[in-house]
């Protein structure tokens, strides 16, 4: 509808008034259309997309397009409508208005792309087959490139200078840009190394004492890696530090099917002795030691038959029988992974006695379960030691005055 013709029929012939009223009327109509488009994009379009997504088996569309995406899409549509609808208006300040609208469109597109990148990251992280790759680093790099391009385009719009000219002039500030984006550049390179060498993944348990990190990796970003420690605190580590500094990744333990138990008890050396005939009979009655005792007793009797001196004879010791008993007892423990290394061994004796180390792998890897398995083993070890005539070394704190 041409409002100027309607006004002329009503007797208004002043060109300035006609132009002003026509411009205002056009702005109102364009503004109303832009507002309606904004409401549709923000309120109605998400419901339609969710209804369509709900009818499909794939969930990627739900993860990719969230409310933030439609909010930013809603901010992009009005300036585009304004830019097209206000073109016919002949006004001395329209050039400035168009610049504002162009900048609005560029920034809105960048925000929409940023939201889309976030959606891709969510889809990627929730896909079981590839969620261990830190794609967030790539999306963040793309976001940085997009916003740098936005800055150049905005400067170009405001100054009316060519983008190629601006790019040529930026070479003088290359050193400054390298300094500003130093962490981003280092993080990008480190992210490629972490991914290609499979050094760390989301969900890995890592320990980095120098950075106070001991927990699960929850986020791998362009500049930082977030670790949720077991006390629920969050430690933030620069991404490039995971390449330049050492850290422990417990993923190998989790994938192996076992978690190592490596703990020793100190035996009072004075309690170590040969087994008497009575003790031999008592130990031979044990189901765990019966075969061992029968075999060893027969072997030692055959060896000692030709010995004339008791000093040259071989005998069974309580510490040896105790080691064999623990080996067999651990072998029957359903909480121990018997496909992995397991043994009971003596370590170098010292002022605190003879260390007897139990080395095996718990089949239960979760922290609480692992600690319970380990505690159950040593509960039994300390309780059964007296039956072998052994004592654990315990410092009494008394200092001899002799």
CA torsion sign, 177 to 178 to 179 to 180?
positive
Query: Which residue in 144, 145, 138 sits closest to 121, CA to CA?
Result: 138
Cβ-contact 318, 275 below 8 angstroms: yes
HSE (side-chain half, CA atoms, 13 Å) at 397? 0
Q: What percentage of the chain has pLDDT greater than the value 70?
A: 77
Residue-wise pLDDT tens digits, 17-44 = 555 566 666 777 777 887 888 788 777 7
φ/ψ (deg, to 5) at 281: -65, -40
Q: List the single range of 118-127, 321-330, 376-385 with lowest mean pLDDT.
A: 118-127
Mean pLDDT value across residues 323-351: 92
Question: At residue 63, does pLDDT exceed 70?
Answer: no
Identify the bridge partners of residue 357 per DSSP, sorted by sequence position. 264, 345
φ/ψ (deg, to 5) at 126: -95, 0
Across the chain, mean pLDDT equals: 79
DSSP class of 4 = H
- C-alpha to C-alpha distance for 326 and 356, rounded to whole angstroms: 11
Structure tokens at 357: 């180390």
Structure tokens at 320: 């040896």
- C-alpha to C-alpha distance for 56 and 62, rounded to whole angstroms: 10
pLDDT score recorded for residue 269: 93
Mean pLDDT value across residues 228-240: 89
Cβ-contact 300, 275 below 8 angstroms: no
| CATH class of the domain defined by 132-256 | mainly beta
Structure tokens at 258: 């076992």
Question: At residue 186, does pLDDT exceed 50?
Answer: yes
Question: At residue 8, does pLDDT exceed 60?
Answer: no
pLDDT score recorded for residue 200: 84
Q: What is the value of pTM for the model shown?
A: 0.54
DSSP output for 57-112: S--HHHHHS-HHHHHHHHHHHHHHHHHHHTTT---TTHHHHHHHHHHHHHHHHHHH
Judged by DSSP in three states, 195 sits in helix
Domain map (residue ranges) of the chain: 1-128, 132-256, 258-388
Residue-wise pLDDT tens digits, 280-310 = 888 889 999 999 898 988 888 888 887 777 7
Question: At residue 276, does pLDDT exceed 80?
Answer: yes
Query: Which residue in 383, 381, 343, 355 sits closest to 261, CA to CA?
Result: 343
pLDDT score recorded for residue 379: 94
Question: At residue 383, does pLDDT exceed 70?
Answer: yes
Judged by DSSP in three states, 218 sits in strand
Structure tokens at 229: 């420690």
Identify the bridge partners of residue 227 per DSSP, sorted by sequence position. 217, 235
Name the pLDDT band for 64 (thresholds 50, 70, 90).
low
Buried b (16+ CB within 10 A) or exposed e, 44-57: ebbeebbeebeeee
Mean pLDDT value across residues 223-246: 87
Identify the bridge partners of residue 228 per DSSP, sorted by sequence position. 216, 234
């Amino acid at each position: 509808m041409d409002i100027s013709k309607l006004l002329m029929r009503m007797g208004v012939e002043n060109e300035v008034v006609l132009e002003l009223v026509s411009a205002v009327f056009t702005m109102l109509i364009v503004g109303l259309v832009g507002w309606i488009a904004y409401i549709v994009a923000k309120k109605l379009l998400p419901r339609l997309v969710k209804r369509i997504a709900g009818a499909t088996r794939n969930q990627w569309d739900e993860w990719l397009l969230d409310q933030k995406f439609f909010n930013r899409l809603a901010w992009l549509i009005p300036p585009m409508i304004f830019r097209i609808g206000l073109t016919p208006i002949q006004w001395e300040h329209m050039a400035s208005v168009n610049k504002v609208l162009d900048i609005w469109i560029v920034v809105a597109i960048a925000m929409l792309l940023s939201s889309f990148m976030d959606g891709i990251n969510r889809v990627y992280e929730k896909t079981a087959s590839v969620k261990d790759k830190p794609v967030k680093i790539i999306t963040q790099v793309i976001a940085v490139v997009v916003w740098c391009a936005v800055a150049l385009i905005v400067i170009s719009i405001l100054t009316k200078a060519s983008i190629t000219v601006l790019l040529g002039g930026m070479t003088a500030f290359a050193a400054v840009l390298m300094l500003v984006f130093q962490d981003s550049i280092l993080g990008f390179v480190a992210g490629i190394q972490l991914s290609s060498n499979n050094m760390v993944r989301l969900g890995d348990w890592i320990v980095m004492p120098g950075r106070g990190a001991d927990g699960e990796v929850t986020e791998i970003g362009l500049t930082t890696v977030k670790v949720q420690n077991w006390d629920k605190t969050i430690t933030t580590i620069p991404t490039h530090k995971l390449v330049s500094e050492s850290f422990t990744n417990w993923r190998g333990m989790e994938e192996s099917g076992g978690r190592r138990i490596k703990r020793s008890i100190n035996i009072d050396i004075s309690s170590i002795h040969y087994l008497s005939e009575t003790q031999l009979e008592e130990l031979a009655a044990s189901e765990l030691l019966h075969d061992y005792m029968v075999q060893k007793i027969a072997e030692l009797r055959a060896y000692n038959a030709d010995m004339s001196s008791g000093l040259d004879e071989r005998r069974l010791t309580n510490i040896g029988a105790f080691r064999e008993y623990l080996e067999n007892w651990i072998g029957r423990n359903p909480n121990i992974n018997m496909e992995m290394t397991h043994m009971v061994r003596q370590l170098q004796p010292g002022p605190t006695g003879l260390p007897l180390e139990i080395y095996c792998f718990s089949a239960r890897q979760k922290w609480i379960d692992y600690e319970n398995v380990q505690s159950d083993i040593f509960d039994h070890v300390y309780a059964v030691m007296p039956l072998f005539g052994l004592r654990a070394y315990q410092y009494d704190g008394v200092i001899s005055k002799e």
